[in-house]
Amino acid sequence: MQAPALCETELVAVLVCLERGAPHVFTLNNGAILPSGPLMPGQLSLQKSLREWVRQQTGIQPGHTEQLYTFADTHLGDGHRRVRISYMTCLPPTTERLEGDHRPHTAALLDIEAQPADPLVSFYTYFPWEDRRNPAHAALIAPLLEGLKRWAAQDPARQQRCAITFGLAGHAWNDELALSRYELLWEVGLIPESCTQAEPAQVTGLSMQHDYRHVLATALSRIRAKIRYTSIVFDLLPRYFTLLHLQQAMEALAGRPMHKQNFRRLVLQQGLLEETEQMDFSGPGRPARLYAADNQAQDNCYLAGAKSPLPDLVW
């Protein structure tokens, strides 16, 4: 009789915040891994164990946490198998900085001196092809498209899949397909983590240990879906913000530009904001009105519109 496979459980935390104009994630080991740990002895709650690992490894006390996905295909050898249960939480921004540093000031980090690099890493450092606000996007993604083209040659089904996933051949770019794009690049072998890496691509993004980048791609797709029909964007903003700050936050999360007038009309018509008497004098022009999120109106949040058209990718 075959011996049963041994299974280990790992809890993984994706701590998301908006910093420096892009969504960032808290990492360890120079961006190679995410805060994580096993179910603690004597602990019956997965989330309580996760929160304790996050507190020990980053000093952060996460607020609302939602489960992302359970990854059950990680084999460790010797009959062992690891199940990764991932969770995501959104953190508010901080305006204070460490003296002489660009890291966010937070009592968060247990040992600042022990941190060899900024623990905050942009999602677009891991997925550079996802930031279509960048004018150089077409040049950045060209090597990946060439690799996909070779993989899909003479196979109409593969060509159709690539076209839908990457917005090619007349298909629109869907920013919510971040996970599908990563999984396709992994399958083709265009990223270092792939066990079937066919050829090195010039723009693969920062790699991570194990399948943590797969977890991050799942989180990016989840966030991009949720900013359309929930008020999650306000969890990542300060208490008071301008309409421009809100638009820039949405653009940063979606990785694409939005039409200014249409976006503002969409937001104001839904009554999602409370106008304050305060003004923002930090900009170069006229002071801008500060707003706050109206918690009473966010059940019917709908921000799917107002996207500016994107140029087609060359296939």
The pLDDT of 34-46, averaged and rounded, is 83
Lowest mean pLDDT among 142-156, 203-217, 257-271, 300-314: 300-314
SS3 261: helix
pLDDT bin (cut points 50, 70, 90) of residue 234 is: very high
241 shares a domain with 191: no
Distance CA 300, CA 311 (A): 31
Look at residue 44 and tell me if it is in a domain: yes
H or E segment and range at residue 76: strand 66-77
Supply the DSSP string of 128-196, one letter for each residue.
Answer: GGG-TTSTTHHHHHHHHHHHHHHHHTT-HHHHHHHHHHHT-TTPPP-GGGHHHHHHHHHHHT-STT-TT
This prediction has a pTM of 0.86
**286 confidence band (pLDDT: 50, 70, 90):** confident
* Alpha carbons 192 and 305: distance in angstroms, whole number: 35
pLDDT at residue 113 greater than cutoff 70? no
3-class SS of residue 43: coil
Question: Which pLDDT belongs to residue 164?
Answer: 97
Q: Are residues 57 and 37 in the same domain?
A: yes
- 255 and 124 in contact (C-beta within 8 Å)? yes
SS3 content of the chain, % helix, strand, coil (to 5): 35, 20, 40
Q: Could you tell me if residue 156 is inside a domain?
A: yes
Number of domains in the chain: 3
Show which of 122, 145, 169 is a domain's final residue. 122
Q: Are residues 292 and 271 in the same domain?
A: yes
Q: Where in the sequence is the domain holding 261, given as residue range(s)?
A: 230-300
Dihedral angle over CA of 37, 40, 44, 49, nearest 10 = -40
Task: Give yes or no: residues 100 and 153 share one domain.
Answer: no
85-95 pLDDT, tens digit per residue, is 999 999 988 74
Residue 138 has pLDDT above 50, yes or no: yes
Residue 102 neighbours by CB under 8 Å, 6+ apart: 20, 118
In this model, does residue 243 exceed pLDDT 50?
yes
Q: What does the alpha-carbon distance between residue 129 and residue 216 come to, in Å, rounded to a whole number?
A: 14
Q: How would residue 198 be classed by pLDDT, with cut points 50, 70 and 90?
A: low
* 315 in a structural domain: no
Token duo for residue 148 = 């996909």
Overall average pLDDT of the 149-161 stretch: 95
240 and 196 inside one domain: no
pLDDT above 60: residue 215: yes
At residue 5, the pLDDT reads 54
- Taking Cα atoms as reference points, which of 251, 181, 190 lies closest to residue 214? 181
pLDDT of amino acid 276: 93
In this structure, is residue 249 part of a structural domain?
yes
For 225-241, what is the mean pLDDT?
A: 91
Residues paired with residue 165 on neighbouring β-strands, in sequence order: none
> Which 3 state secondary structure label does DSSP give 48?
helix
Query: Does 103 lie in the same domain as 62?
Result: yes
Report which of 25, 12, 251 is spatially closest to residue 123, judged by C-alpha positions: 25
Closest Cα to residue 16, out of 130, 133, 126, 121? 121
Banded model confidence at residue 199, pLDDT cuts 50, 70, 90: low
What's the confidence (pLDDT) of residue 78?
55
Judge if 100 and 163 occupy the same domain: no
> Are 134 and 241 in the same domain?
no
More confident residue, 195 or 71: 71
Same domain, yes or no: 103 and 188: no
User: Quick one: residue 170, left, alpha or beta (phi over 0 = left, psi -120 to 50 = alpha)?
Assistant: left
Same-domain status, 24 and 106 = yes
